[in-house]
Amino acid sequence: MKEIKKSIPIIKLLIIFSLLIFIISLVYINLFKTDQTITLRQGVTANKELKKKRTIKAFVDYVDQQPNVTFNRKSLSVALFKLKKAIDAIALSTGYEFQYADLIIAEYDIERISREKLFSTQSYYLKKVTMILSNSLRKIQRQKYPDLEKQADTLKAASERFNGTDLKLDQDQKIKVFLSKATDLVNGMR
């Protein structure tokens, strides 16, 4: 009983002390508030735009560094994953909401491309991933960037060139064309 009586004043002191700190912090914030503070919504919007620009730049820089190199399954997976992240960032910054399940499937298939050693299996997943990514970009383009319709159509055409049974030599040129067209469209959405 005595222990309970001793702990009650300590609890009261802790509550009073925390309330006092809270009140002091409110007074401090209100007294030293400057015009340079950004509202939460503006800060979030600025962060989304910054993330969009960074992820687009990362994708474009990676593709630009690979112009004369044939894409092996690892570098192709990295490029496709960077494109998927750029699509995520564009959708987030523009406020566009679409089925993220497609992008989750695309991410899973990109991982499968990096693990698969058979060209026919890689080709199948590559066709599936390019269709998902190009369709996602087209949906964003239709809603938020109507002036980029031509670039979206060329990206769709590039993704339709994959037939799921391509040989490696045929695939390399199609990959470069697809990534080039994706770079053009994503740059337009910057």
Q: What is residue 135's predicted lDDT score, i.e. its pLDDT?
A: 92
Looking at the chain, the number of H-run helices and the number of E-run strands are 7, 0
Q: What is the mean pLDDT of residues 96-118?
A: 82
101 compared with 150, residue with greater pLDDT: 150
Domain ranges of the chain: 1-37, 40-188
Residue 102 predicted with pLDDT over 80: yes
What is the mean predicted confidence (pLDDT) over 63-82? 79
Question: Alpha-carbon distance 112 to 120, whole Å?
Answer: 12
pLDDT value, residue 43: 52
**Do 134 and 155 touch, CB atoms closer than 8 A?**
yes
pLDDT cut 90: percent of the chain above it? 17
Average pLDDT over residues 142-166: 87
Cβ distance 90 to 52 under 8 Å? yes
Mean local confidence (pLDDT), 104-118? 85
40-64 helix and 168-188 helix, angle to the nearest 10 degrees:
150
Confidence of residue 72 (pLDDT cuts 50, 70, 90): confident
How many whole angstroms separate alpha carbon 103 and alpha carbon 101? 5
Q: Which residues contact 90 (CB under 8 A, 6 or more apart)?
A: 52, 56, 96, 137, 140, 186, 189
Helices (H), 65-99: 73-94
Q: pLDDT at position 165, please?
A: 72
Lowest mean pLDDT among 1-10, 15-24, 122-131, 147-156: 1-10
| Segment 124-136, tens digit of pLDDT | 888 899 999 999 9
Q: What is the mean pLDDT of the chain?
A: 79
What digits encode the pLDDT tens for the residues 36-70? 444 444 555 667 788 888 888 888 888 888 765 56
Residue 84: closest CA among 108, 114, 51, 106: 106
State both tokens at 145. 């960037």
Contacts of 156 (CB under 8 A, 6+ apart): 134, 135, 138
Could you give the CA distance from residue 145 to residue 157 in angstroms, rounded to a whole number?
18
pLDDT for res 138: 92
DSSP string, 150-163: HHHHHHHHHHHT--
pLDDT of residue 36: 45
The token duo for 61 is 């820089």
Q: What are phi and psi of 98, to 5 degrees?
A: -140, 180
In three-state secondary structure terms, 95 is coil
